[in-house]
Amino acid sequence: MKNQALDIYYDEEGDFLEISFGLPPETEYTEDIEADVFVTKDRETHEIKSIGILNFKVRAREAVLKKVLKQLDISIPLDISVSK
């Protein structure tokens, strides 16, 4: 993927992020790598040509929260008890 054009597209209304590498291939296929995340590959070379992420804002917030919690060395859920 070196020396290829990088194109980033974000649809705010649909909360969809797509990052494309180089020109689209003539033939391609798409694989789900996890829920709401998929890659599109060139059918001949199997090189990744784009990455798509649905619900991007939610996923980004969750990733940031996990990173902060890891740095603070705490986890969720927290057990809180209140007594008189």
pLDDT tens digits along 64-74: 777 776 776 65
pLDDT category, 25, cuts 50, 70, 90? confident
Q: Looking at the whole model, is its pTM more than 0.75?
A: no
What is the C-alpha separation between 63 and 32, in angstroms, rounded?
Answer: 19
Q: Name the β-bridge partners of 51.
A: 19, 39
Task: Return the closest-CA partner of residue 42 out of 29, 23, 33.
Answer: 29
What is the C-alpha separation between 68 and 84, in angstroms, rounded?
Answer: 32
- The dihedral built from the CA positions of residue 48, 7, 22 and 29, taken in this order, carries a sign that is positive
Task: Return the closest-CA partner of residue 52 out of 14, 1, 2.
Answer: 14
Peptide bond into 25 cis (omega under 30): no
pLDDT category, 48, cuts 50, 70, 90? very high
